[in-house]
A and B are shown apart, each in its own frame.
Chain A
Amino acid sequence: MLRVEGITQKFGGVTALSDVSFSVAEGCIKGVIGPNGAGKTTLFNIITGIYAQTSGSVFLSGEDITGLAPEKLAKRRLVRTFQNIELFCGLTVLENVMVGFHTRSRSGVLSCSLKLPGHLKEEHAIREQAMACLEFAGIADLAETPADSLPFGKGRLLEIARAMALDPRIVLLDEPAAGLNSRETAQLGRLICKIRESGVTVALVEHDMELVMDICESIVVLNLGRKLAEGTPREIQENPEVVAAYLGEG
C-alpha cells in the first residue's frame, strides 16, 4: 500500500534521516517507533508532503507520490493527524469533520452564496456523513461544541474523526496517544483497530510501547535517522539492538 524508498533528509549539516526504506502492507497497522530525535515525525512530514526530502521516493499503491502537496495527497485519500493536535478553532466539532468532505463536494461560490438546491442537498449529505464519522469516533454527542473548548483527549478523537471524513485508504497517526491517560489510550487503541477493520491501512508513530505492541502487526524501529530493525512486535522486543538503543547499552 505505502512504500518509502531510500528517504534521506538533511537540515543543513544535520542528517535527520538517512536511507530509510520500508513498506506498509494493505489493511495492516504499522508502528514506527524510536527514541526521541530518531526522525519519526520528520519521516511522516516527508510522506505527507509537508517537507521536501533531500532524496528518496514515496509510493502509494504503486503510484509515485514523492513530493506531492498535502492537498493532492488528500485527493488520493492519504491523510494524517498531528502530534500537537491541529483543530480548526472557531468551527464546531461537526464543522471540523465537514471540512474533511471538501474534496468530495462541488458547490461553487455562486451556488453556496445563493443557497441553490444542489448545494443544500450536498450540504445535507455532508452533514449526515460527518455525523457518522463522529459516531465512529464516539464523540457524536459533542457535535455542536466549539472545537476550541474540547478537552485534549476528545480533540484527538476529533482529529481522527476528521481524518476518516476523507474516506482514506491510509491514515498516518503522529503520536496519537501523546498526552492521553491510560483509559483514553485504551479507548484510542480500540478506535485504531476499528479503523483497520473498516478496511483502512494505518501507520502510526508512537511512544506508548504497550499500545504499539498491542495493536501493530509490524513495527519499524528508527534510531538516529537510520532504520534499526523491522518485524513483528515479538521480534522487535527480542532484538538486542533495539533494546540497546532504548536502554542506552552497548
Chain B
Amino acid sequence: MLKGNKNLVTYGMLSGIVMLAPLFFAGGYLLNVLVFVGINTLLAVALNLLLGFAGQISLGHAAFFGLGAYISGVSTATYGVNPWAAMLLAAVAVGLVAFAIGFPILKLKGHYLAMATLGFGIIVYIVFNETVDLTGGPSGLSGIPSFTVADFSFDSDMKNYYLIWGITLVAIVLSANLVNSRIGRALRSIHSSEVAARVMGVNVRLLKVQIFTLSAVLSSIAGSLYAHTMTFISPTSFGFNFSVELLTMVVIGGLGSILGPLLGAGLLTLLPEFLRTFQDYDIIVYGLLLVLMTMYLPGGLASGFTAMCARIRSRFSREVVKNAQG
C-alpha cells in the first residue's frame, strides 16, 4: 500500500514537471527539443520492456519507429486518411510484422539475435530509400498533416508537446503496472533463467514474441507521433545509428527500471544541444561521458538517482536527530 502511494507521488511529481516545463521555454527552440525528448522517452520505454525486463536485445527498433512514421505519413499525405486512423493502422500493421518476424528471430539468443534484428533494421531502411514512388526515397516525404480534433489542430510545438508527453506518461505508468504483474514477473524470470521459467509453466517462446510485438507497437505509435509533429520525414532518422542511440538511452538510463528510459532519453537528447558550445569537440565530451557513466554508474542513471535520494534522505534524518538532541 505504502509502495503504491510512493509511486503515485513519483508520477504526480513527474506529471507536474512535464506540465510546467513549457512555461519556461515557451515558443523557444528548447521546447522543440523537449518534444523530441518525449518521443525518445516513449521509444526507450518500448525498448526497455524488451531489453531491460525480458533481456532480449534489438538493434532494429528504429525500423519499427520508421514503419510507424512512414505508414502514418504515406496514408495521410498520399491517401488522405485521418491521422488518428493512420496511427491506429500503423500500430496494427507494425504489430503484425513484429509478430510474424518475432517467431523465427526470437529463437536466436545474444549476438545472433542482435544480428538478426540489425539485419531487419537495415532491410527496412533500404526499403524506405528505394521505394521512391511510395516514400519519396532519400529526399523524404513532406506534407504530412497534423493531428486534429474537430477544429482544433495540433499545429504548434506547444500543442504537440502536451499530446506527446501525455501519451508518453501514460505509457510509463502502464509499463510500470505491467512489469509488476504476473506478465512482468514472467518476463523478468525469462531474463534470469529461461529453463526455470519454462519449468514454472511460462511459455517462453510465445511471451518473447508478445513482448517484442508490444514493444514494436509502442515504437510505431512514437513513429506516428513523430511524423504528424514534424510533418516531414526522411529515411536518415530511422537508420542503424538511431537504433544504437535508442539502445544507449536504455542502457544509460538503467536497464529494467521504470524511470530509466526517461532519464536516458532526456540526457542523450539534451546533451548534444548543450555540447554545441564545444563545437567539433562535442563528440569527445559525449564519448567521455558515456564511458565514465558506464564505469561509475553501471546500473544506469536511475540507480544513481535512487542512491542520491537515499543519501539526501539519510543526511536529512541525521540533521533532524542532531537538532533534536541539540
Question: In the bound complex, do residue B181 and residue A123 qualify as a contact, i.e. CB atoms below 8 Å apart?
Answer: yes
Residues of B159-218 contacting chain A, CB below 8 A: 174-175, 177-178, 181-186, 188-189, 191-193, 195-204, 210, 214
CB distance from B64 to the nearest CB of A (A): 17
A70 neighbours in B (Cβ, 8 Å):
195, 198-199
- Which A residue sits closest to B190, measured CB to CB? A88
Q: Is B266 an interface residue (CB 8 A)?
A: no
CB of B256 within 8 Å of the partner chain: yes
Given known A74-B200, A99-B197, contact A90–B191 (CB-CB < 8 A): yes
CB contact list, A46-86 vs B, under 8 A? 48, 50, 69-71, 73-75, 79-80, 82, 86
Please determine whether A88 and B199 come into contact, CB atoms closer than 8 angstroms: no
Q: Do A115 and B177 touch (CB < 8 A)?
A: yes
Complex Cα distance, B183 from A119, in Å, reads 11
Interface residues contributed by chain B, number (CB under 8 Å): 28
> Binding site of B, secondary structure by majority: helix, strand, loop or mixed?
helix
Max chain A CB contacts within 10 Å: which of B184, B189, B192, B210?
Answer: B189
A74 touches B199 (CB 8 A): yes
Q: Are B193 and A87 in contact (CB under 8 A)?
A: yes
In the complex, A115→B210 CA distance in Å?
A: 19
In the complex, what residues of B have CB within 8 A of residue A80's CB? 199
A90, B193: Cβ atoms under 8 Å? Answer: no
List residues of chain A with CB within 8 A of the CB of B197: 88, 99
Q: Is the CB of A166 within 8 A of B201?
A: yes
| Chain B residues whose CB sits within 8 angstroms of the CB of A99 once the complex forms | 185-186, 189, 197, 200, 202
* Residue tally, chain A, CB below 8 Å to B: 40
Q: Are B203 and A91 in contact (CB under 8 A)?
A: no
Q: How far is the CA of A31 from the CA of B181 in the complex (A)?
A: 37
Does any Cβ of B come within 8 Å of A114's Cβ?
Answer: yes
* Contact across chains for A123 and B182 when beta carbons are under 8 A apart: yes
List A contacts of B198 (CB < 8 A): 69-71, 74
> A71-B202, A88-B197, A123-B182 are contacts. A113–B175 as well, Cβ < 8 Å?
yes
Residue with the greatest number of chain B CB neighbours at <10 A, chosen from A79, A102, A165: A102
Shortest CB–CB separation between residue A102 and chain B, in angstroms?
5
Instruction: State in angstroms the CA–CA spacing of A113 and B214 once bound together.
Output: 12
The contact sample of 18 A-B pairs, CB cut-off 8 A, is A71-B201, A71-B204, A74-B201, A88-B196, A90-B256, A91-B185, A91-B189, A95-B188, A99-B185, A99-B197, A102-B186, A107-B181, A109-B178, A112-B178, A112-B183, A113-B178, A162-B200, A165-B200
Chain B residues at the A interface, C-beta cutoff of 8 Å: 174-175, 177-178, 181-186, 188-189, 191-193, 195-204, 210, 214, 256
6 tightest Cβ-Cβ pairs between the two chains A and B: A74-B201, A112-B181, A103-B201, A86-B196, A70-B198, A113-B174
